Amino acid sequence: MTDASLPRPVTIITGASRGIGAAIAERLAADGHDLVITYRDRAADADAVARRCTDSGARVLVLQVDLADLDAAATVVPSAVDAFGRVTGLVNNAGITGRIGPFLDVPLEEAEAVFRINVLSPLIITRAAIEHMATDRGGVGGSIVNISSGAAKSGAPNTYIPYAMSKAALNALTTGASKEFGPVGVRVNTVSPGTTRTEIHAAAGRPDAPDERAPGIPMRRPGEPHEIAGAVAYLLSDDASYTSGADIRVAGGN
Ligand code: NDP
């Protein structure tokens, strides 16, 4: 929750039209954030998320941005600042896995798209956010959360190694940026979900992956998006005021 006597936090969430990003948006709206939510294709879904957030009292800006287009990624923070005058939070959530399959068969173009969307766009958006937030540049500080994956550490053999590589890169962004920008009021953390019930698995070619993987999860079930959102809300809240460079695994015991 946020302190009602302070101005409302303004938080950008990429990829918030569905899945984990949508759950994060709805949770943050309930916690008192105003929001900038982005999507790629699914405008009706993004509008529905925005309506639910508005019903919780949030002001919401919805942006269509293909994060494979790095010039488009560069417009996200300026659009947010234009709309709200300030940005205090960023959740780098949008991500793709590529198709599940053997490493030797991954087309290079697919690996490149994974790196554009999962690494280079977050790099661009994070730099713009830090330039706005950093206290040595006139900002008031802020909090950034990168949505990584347990794959960063498992390497996802026989499944999607380029995706695992991209998430390991995102983890390095958290580690490096938390140290470089801790002195200027910017906290940077990671949330690493385990298998969570969203449409990302259908896009990877394995719609039933959450239930198929359940026997290998200590809690014997996949996560639900709202269970990931709680960790993100914590990291963006004042309860996490001394938490930076952390990686919270939300993975049912894995
Ligand atoms: P979904 O596939 O359910 O949703 C993806 C979201 O990202 C959508 O809002 C989608 O927009 C958007 N998006 C996808 N590609 C682009 C793009 N090129 N440009 C802009 N936006 C894009 O994903 P999840 O909710 O499952 O995943 C969210 C994050 O969590 C990802 O970073 C993922 O790697 C991570 N994660 C997920 C796990 C899981 O099991 N679900 C496990 C571990 C990590 P649109 O609706 O318009 O297509």
Q: Is the beta carbon of 42 within 6 A of some atom in ligand 1? A: yes
223 alpha carbon – ligand 1 mean position (Å): 15
Q: Is the beta carbon of 112 within 6 A of some atom in ligand 1? A: no
Rounded to a whole number, what is the largest CA-CA distance in the chain?
56
Q: Whose CA is nearest to atom 21 of ligand 1?
A: 40
Is the pLDDT confidence value at 2 over 70?
no
Q: Is the beta carbon of 147 within 6 A of some atom in ligand 1? A: yes
137 alpha carbon – ligand 1 mean position (Å): 32
The residue extents of the domains of the chain are: 10-250
Q: Which residue among 160, 198, 249 has the greatest number of ligand 1 atoms within 8 angstroms of its CB, and so is best to mutate?
A: 198
- Which residues are catalytic, by number? 163
Domain formed by 10-250, architecture: 3-Layer(aba) Sandwich (3.40)
Question: Hey, CA dihedral for 173, 64, 79, 29, is it positive or negative?
Answer: negative
Q: Residues 22-35: what's their mean pLDDT?
A: 98
What pLDDT was estimated at residue 3?
Answer: 57
Average predicted confidence (pLDDT) for the chain: 97
Is the pLDDT confidence value at 4 over 90?
no
Separation CA 243–CA 144 (nearest Å) = 11
Using pLDDT thresholds of 50, 70 and 90, give the confidence band for residue 88.
very high
Report how far apart, in Å, the C-alpha atoms of 107 and of each of 57, 98, 101, 123, 230 are: 45, 10, 11, 23, 36
Query: How far, in whole angstroms, is CA 51 from its chain's centroid?
Result: 20
Question: What are the residues facing 89 on neighbouring strands?
Answer: 11, 143
Question: What are the residues facing 187 on neighbouring strands?
Answer: 143
96 alpha carbon – ligand 1 mean position (Å): 6
CB neighbours of residue 206 within 10 Å = 17
Which ligand 1 atom sits nearest the alpha carbon of residue 200? 2
Q: Which residue among 17, 20, 63 has the greatest number of ligand 1 atoms within 8 angstroms of its CB, and so is best to mutate?
A: 20
